[in-house]
Structure 1
Amino acid sequence: MNDEPGVEKAVRVRKHSTGDIDELASSVRGWDQRYDQLGPGRYCGNLTECWIDDLQVIHERSNRCLHQMGYAWSGARVFGIPMAQSGAARFGTQIIEADAPVTLGPGQELDYRTPSTLDVMSIVLSADTLSQLSLTLDGFDLESALGGSLCLASDTAGLMELRALLQSLSQVLKLTPELLAYPAVRKGLRHTLLTSLLGAFSNQDNRHESNQRTLQHKLIVERAKQYIFETPQDPLTIAELCAMIGVSRRTLQTCFQKIMGTNPVHYLRAVRLNQVRRALRQSTVHELQVQDIACSWGFWHLSSFTADYKRMFGELPSQTLHRSR
Structure 2
Amino acid sequence: MAPASSCHTDSMAFDAPIVGNTHQIRTIEAFDADEHAHNLTDWEQSYDQITRGHFHGALAELHLPQMQVFRERTSQAVRQSCCVWPDAFWFGLPEQSDQTRINGRLAGEHAIMVRPGACEFELVTPPDYAIYGIVIRREALWQAAELSGCRIDWAQLTGTEVMHVDSSSRASLLQTLSGLLQDGGGCTDRDLRQQVLVNALLALLDTRAVDSAVSGSFQRRQRIVAKARDLVLAHHDQAITVPRLCEQLFVSRRTLQYCFEDVLGMSPMQYLRLIRLNGARRHLRQASSKSLTVQDVAADWGFWHFSQFSSDYRKLFGQSPSESLRQRSH
Q: TM-score, normalised by structure 2?
A: 0.86
Q: Is contact 1:130–1:143 with CA below 8 Å preserved after alignment?
A: no
- The 5 A counterparts of 1:54-93 are 54-83=66-95, 85=96, 88-93=99-104
What CA distance in whole angstroms lies between the structure 2 residues aligned with 1:231 and 1:202? 47
Q: How does 1:93-172 map to 2 (within 5 A)?
A: 93-97=104-108, 100-172=111-183
Query: Which residue is equivalent to 2:34?
Result: 22
Matched, 1:202 2:213: no
Q: Whole-Å Cα distance in 2 between the matches of residues 70 and 163 of structure 1?
A: 22
Query: 1:91 is aligned with what amino acid?
Result: I
Higher fraction of helix: 1
RMSD (CA atoms): 2.4
Distance 1:323 1:267, change over 3 A: same
Match among 291, 294, 297 for residue 293 of structure 1: 297
| Equivalent residue for 1:13, pick from 7, 10, 25 | 25
Does 2:46 correspond to 1:34?
A: yes
Counterpart check, 1:224 vs 2:228: yes
Instruction: Could you tell me which runs of 5 or more consecutive residues in structure 1 were left unpaired when the two chains were aligned.
Output: 1-7
Q: What secondary structure is seen at the aligned counterpart in 1 of 2:284?
A: helix
**Partner of residue 5, structure 2:** none
Whose radius of gyration is greater, 1 or 2? 1
Aligned residue number for residue 190 of structure 1: 194
Report the AA paired with residue 308 of structure 1. D
Percent identical residues:
30
Mean CA deviation greater in 108-117 or 257-266: 108-117
The correspondence for 1:49, drawn from 36, 50, 61, is: 61
Structure 2 vs 1, CA of residues 300 and 272 (structure 1 numbering), >3 Å: closer, same or farther? same
CA–CA distance in structure 2, aligned partners of residues 50 and 141 of structure 1: 26
2:16 matched residue in structure 1: none
Alignment check: 8 A CA contact 2:163 2:209 kept: no
TM-score by length of 1: 0.87
CA apart distance, 1:286: 4.2
SS in 2 for 1:40: coil
Q: CA deviation at 1:139?
A: 4.0
Shift of residue 212, structure 1, vs aligned partner:
2.0
SS at match of 2:159: coil
Contact persistence 1:131–1:143 (CA under 8 A): no
Deviations 1:48-107 (A, max 9, x none): 221111111021111000011031001220111113x37512111312337732111233
| Map of 1:316 onto structure 2 | 320
In the alignment, is the contact (CA less than 8 A) between 1:65 and 1:116 conserved in 2? yes
